[in-house]
Amino acid sequence: MTLMGAAALLILILTYAGVAIGRIPGLRLDRAGIALLGGAAMIAIGALSMEDAYRAINFDTITLLLGMMIVVAHLKVSGAFRALGAYAIEHAHAPFMLLVMVTLLTGILSAFLVNDAICLVMAPIVVHVTRVINRNPIPYLIATATASNCGSVATITGNPQNMVIGALSGISYPAFSAALAPVALFGLVAVIVIVRIVYRAEFARSAELSPEVYRGRMLPGQVLKAVVVCIGLAVAFFAGVPVAKAALIGGAILLVTRAIKPARIYREIDGPLLFMFAGLFIVVAGAEKTLLTPDIIASAKNLGLDDVWRLSGFTAVLSNIMSNVPAVLALRPFISGLENPGRAWLVVAMSSTLAGNFTLLGSVANLIVAEQARAAGTQLSFSAFFKVGLPLTLLTLAAGTAWLAAGF
């Protein structure tokens, strides 16, 4: 190995370790800063030129994520999410029906919009409702987090790692959804069943519920415009319009308003996530150029990743070690050499997402729910989540892998 190769390997390891841990001890760098530092280090050692670094960033992914963030921000600021959540939950008149409503609403919204943002909206609503009706909030919060992960499997726009895979694989939006929407639906049913079994005492106490949700201020005109844009986006996605192009146009249209200051929308955009993506793209490209010779890539076939079950398990483990987006990017150089790369990308999308339900630390969505609950005075513990997460992850991964092995 050359000196540059050794340096690139060290940068790759330190960057991924930092992103996995979330910080560097003694410094205030977050995941975005760590990824950008890693990318800059790759350029500094000469692994990539500036032109190579620019080309390494997949701007389709960045653009799609930015466009969807603007759409989700508009839905949140206009009051659309709060109104929809209130309407659905207020029609749940028994504990089990409340569980079903929370799971389906979170899962369906997460299928088309970024799941992390859905958790930001749903978790406070769930805490408020369960407190008002004197129920245990924990099973409903766990359902919120796990349903957001399961539901987001269904489409390219469901979560950040799917967006990366959609851009890298070239799989169309309809084809992606046809393959993985059944897995998402199975996952939502599994969430309801497993939460119901694990927290049977909560649902054994039958009661007539009359939940009331604080709806806050709603801007009807802006809600209507956002709904029209969302319907237009769905039609465009399934009609084959490039998803990044459609999302950017849809987001730009929603910025044209007299009722909402753009600054309110900008505050909802997760800029650090965009920076982290850019940095990781550069780090991976630098490692790929200096370390991954054709012989090394060919030797990866010895891992047997052509086997759907092995690839699914490998992705799930990798995702829990280093987080899902970095895991997807780490697998990128090896997928194209597989016998069926299209199916392999679908397996990676399914497994990296469902693996997030394994522990409370498995996905950003889980952490958002836990943080929102903590801010409202409710503690969602690691063990409480794991009681549902372990069986749910094993069941959904097995079902999803069997589905993809049999049909694609």
Asked if residue 200 is part of any domain, the answer here is yes
Cβ contacts of residue 242 below 8 Å, gap of 6+? 60
Distances in whole angstroms, Cα of residue 54 to Cα of each of 40, 243, 279, 332: 12, 21, 11, 18
pLDDT band at 212 (very low <50, low <70, confident <90, very high): low
Tokens read off for 61 = 């992914």
Residue type (1 letter), 377? G
The pLDDT value recorded for residue 23 is: 75
Residue, of 24 and 105, whose pLDDT is higher: 105
DSSP string over 139-154 = HHHHHHHHHHHHHHTT
Asked if residue 22 is part of any domain, the answer here is no
pLDDT, mean of residues 32-57: 93
The pLDDT value recorded for residue 1 is: 65
Asked if residue 66 is part of any domain, the answer here is yes
**Which residue in this structure is represented by tokens 């963030």?**
69
Domain containing residue 381: 29-289+363-395
Tokens read off for 15 = 């960057």
pTM: 0.86
Mean pLDDT, the chain, whole residue set? 87
pLDDT tens string 213-234:
666 677 888 888 888 999 999 9
pLDDT tens string 159-206:
989 999 998 898 999 999 999 999 999 999 999 999 999 998 887 766
Which of 259-273, 314-328, 383-397: highest mean pLDDT?
Answer: 383-397
Asked if residue 336 is part of any domain, the answer here is no
The pLDDT value recorded for residue 296 is: 67
How far apart, in whole angstroms, are the C-alpha atoms of residue 272 and residue 26? Answer: 20
Tokens read off for 154 = 């269904």
Residue, of 151 and 98, whose pLDDT is higher: 151
Domain count, the chain: 1
Rounded to the nearest 10 degrees, the angle between the axes of helix 173-198 and helix 220-239 is 120
pLDDT, mean of residues 340-349: 93
Asked if residue 16 is part of any domain, the answer here is no
What is the 8-class DSSP label of residue 376? Answer: T
Rounded to the nearest 10 degrees, the angle between the axes of helix 341-354 and helix 138-152 is 170
pLDDT tens string 47-103:
999 999 999 998 998 999 999 999 988 888 888 877 777 777 766 678 888 899 899
C-beta atoms surrounding 271 within 10 Å:
12
What is the 8-class DSSP label of residue 207? Answer: -
Asked if residue 274 is part of any domain, the answer here is yes
Asked if residue 174 is part of any domain, the answer here is yes
Tokens read off for 282 = 């550069």
Asked if residue 93 is part of any domain, the answer here is yes
